C-alpha cells in the first residue's frame, strides 16, 4: 500500500533546456526558457458544445488530471487564455462566436480541435454543421475519435506543449504567420 502511494505521488519535474552548466550557474538561450515556461503553463479555454466536452471533464478530473501538465487553470475569458480547446459539434450559426473568441485571445495562442466533429464535422454531414473548425480558424493539433478518450486529449495537449516549447519567438511576427491569418481574413 505504502509502495503504491509512493509511486502515485512521484512528481516529475519538467526537463531543463540545453545549456552550459557549472558550479553555481546555468546559462541557456532566452528562447528556450520562454518556451519551457509557455509549454508548462498553458491556460486552456474549453469551448465545449456536446459529448466531447464530457470527455474533457474526465480529463480534468482527478484520474487523468490535466493539472499535472500545468494546464489546470481554465479560463472562460479569451484574453486570459492561450490554448483554445474546441470540443463538440460546431453549428454554422456558432461559427462567428467561435471565431470571435479566437480573435480575442492574445498571441501566442494555440488551437486544439478535439474529436471528429470539431475536426471535420464528424457524422454530421449536414447543411447546418461546420465541416471542421479549420474552415474559420487555424488549428494546430487535431485529436481524432468520436469521442476521443481522455488519454487522446492528453496526447493532444502534449503535442501543443511541444509546439509551444519549440516555437521561435519570431514566429508570430513572421510573414508566413501573417499570411496564414490573412488566409482566414484575420488581421
Ligand atoms: S466527435 Fe462524437 S463524441 Fe465528439 S461531439 Fe462529435 S458526436 Fe459527440
Domain boundaries, the chain: 45-183
| pLDDT score of 16 | 81
Residue 1's pLDDT band (cuts 50, 70, 90): very low
How many whole angstroms separate alpha carbon 52 and alpha carbon 49?
Answer: 8
Q: What is the mean pLDDT of residues 55-80?
A: 94
Q: What is the mean pLDDT of residues 32-44?
A: 95
Tally of CA atoms within 13 A in the half-sphere of 140 that contains its CB: 21
How does pLDDT run across 81-93, given as a tens digit for each residue?
A: 999 999 999 999 9
Beta bridge partners of 22: 25
How many whole angstroms separate alpha carbon 33 and alpha carbon 17?
Answer: 7
Place of cell 474533457: 56
> Distance from the CA of 123 to the center of ligand 1, in angstroms?
8
Percent of the chain at pLDDT exceeding 70: 95
pLDDT at 7 > cutoff 80? no
pLDDT at 149 > cutoff 70? yes
Residue 14's pLDDT band (cuts 50, 70, 90): confident
Length of the chain: 187
Nearest residue (by CA) to ligand 1, atom 3, is: 147
pLDDT at 2 > cutoff 50? no
pLDDT at 6 > cutoff 80? no
Q: Which of 152, 1, 2 lies closest to 64 in space, CA to CA? A: 152
Q: Mean of the per-residue pLDDT values for the chain?
A: 92
Question: Are 58 and 150 a contacting pair, CB within 8 Å?
Answer: yes
Beta bridge partners of 83: 44, 110
The region that residue 14 occupies, defined by phi over 0 for left and psi between -120 and 50 for alpha, beta otherwise, is beta
Q: How are beta strands 25-27 and 141-143 bridged, if at all?
A: unpaired
Ligand 1 nearest-atom number relative to CA 147: 3
Nearest residue (by CA) to ligand 1, atom 4, is: 52
> Distance from the CA of 67 to the center of ligand 1, in angstroms?
24
CA 53 to chain centre: 14
Ligand 1 nearest-atom number relative to CA 51: 8
| pLDDT score of 4 | 52
pLDDT at 54 > cutoff 60? yes
Percent of the chain at pLDDT exceeding 90: 87
Most ligand 1 atoms within 8 A of CB, residue of 50, 120, 121 to mutate: 50
The region that residue 121 occupies, defined by phi over 0 for left and psi between -120 and 50 for alpha, beta otherwise, is left
How many whole angstroms separate alpha carbon 57 and alpha carbon 87?
Answer: 11
| Host H or E run for residue 100 | helix 95-104
**Whether the CB of 121 sits within 6 Å of ligand 1:** no
**Whether the CB of 117 sits within 6 Å of ligand 1:** yes
**Whether the CB of 150 sits within 6 Å of ligand 1:** no
The CATH class, in words, for 45-183 is alpha beta
Amino acid at each position: 500500500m505504502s509502495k503504491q502511494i509512493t509511486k502515485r505521488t512521484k512528481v516529475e519535474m519538467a526537463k531543463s533546456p540545453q545549456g552550459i552548466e557549472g558550479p553555481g550557474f546555468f546559462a541557456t538561450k532566452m528562447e528556450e526558457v520562454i518556451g519551457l515556461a509557455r509549454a508548462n503553463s498553458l491556460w486552456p479555454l474549453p469551448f465545449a458544445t456536446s459529448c466531447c466536452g464530457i470527455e474533457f471533464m474526465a480529463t480534468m478530473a482527478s484520474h487523468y488530471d490535466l493539472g499535472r501538465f500545468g494546464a489546470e487553470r481554465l479560463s472562460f475569458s479569451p484574453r486570459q487564455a492561450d490554448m483554445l480547446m474546441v470540443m463538440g459539434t460546431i453549428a454554422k450559426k456558432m461559427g462567428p462566436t467561435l471565431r470571435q473568441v479566437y480573435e480575442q485571445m492574445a498571441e501566442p495562442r494555440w488551437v486544439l480541435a478535439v474529436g471528429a466533429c470539431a475536426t471535420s464535422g464528424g457524422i454530421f454531414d449536414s447543411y447546418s454543421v461546420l465541416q471542421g473548425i479549420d474552415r474559420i480558424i487555424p488549428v494546430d493539433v487535431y485529436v481524432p475519435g468520436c469521442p476521443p478518450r481522455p488519454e487522446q486529449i492528453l496526447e493532444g495537449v502534449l503535442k501543443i506543449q511541444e509546439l509551444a516549447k519549440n516555437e521561435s519567438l519570431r514566429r508570430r511576427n513572421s510573414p508566413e504567420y501573417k499570411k496564414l491569418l490573412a488566409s482566414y481574413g484575420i488581421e
